[in-house]
Amino acid sequence: MKVFYKTAATASGGRSGTSTLNDGSFSVQMVPPGSNVTGVNPEQLFALGYAACFDNAMQLMAKQLKVDAQGAKTSIEVGIGQLTEGGYSLDVDITAHLPGMASSDAERLIEATHELCPYSNAIRGNVDVRLHIETETTQ
């Protein structure tokens, strides 16, 4: 694989510490889920990154498939849970908001995007992922 970009981060204190990009451009206070303390947890950061990456891949695929994805956006919901055999895993729901797009085009687009997106490729076979489509125009 030819690597186009790399970044690095350092965490200290785990879910009750600080995570900082090594270039100093971003630092965040980490908190356990449900702690009611100001900060974010790793699942939230994963959801942010995955949503941005998937949305960008969806724009690329829309051009390749020649479908109009104007007004499109991506929502990612990330959960964490314990595996029956021990350990923990993530659980992901991806919703592509594709207002006014024909269902057949929307299905083709989200499936192709899921094959292209680096986050999807990184977790494929390791994480339960469900794809959802919303084509209704909301006010």
65-101: pLDDT as tens digits: 999 999 999 999 999 999 999 999 999 999 999 999 9
For residue 120 the two structure tokens come to 């999807």
30-69 pLDDT tens trace: 999 888 899 999 999 999 999 999 999 999 999 999 999 9
Look up the CATH architecture of domain 1-40: Single Sheet (2.20)
Determine the angle formed by the axes of helices 103-116 and 42-65, rounding to 10 degrees.
120
As a whole number of angstroms, the distance between CA 63 and CA 68 comes to: 8
Residue with tokens 């009611």: 36
Q: Locate the domains of the chain by residue range.
A: 1-40, 42-134
Q: Which fold has domain 42-134?
A: GMP Synthetase; Chain A, domain 3 (3.30.300)
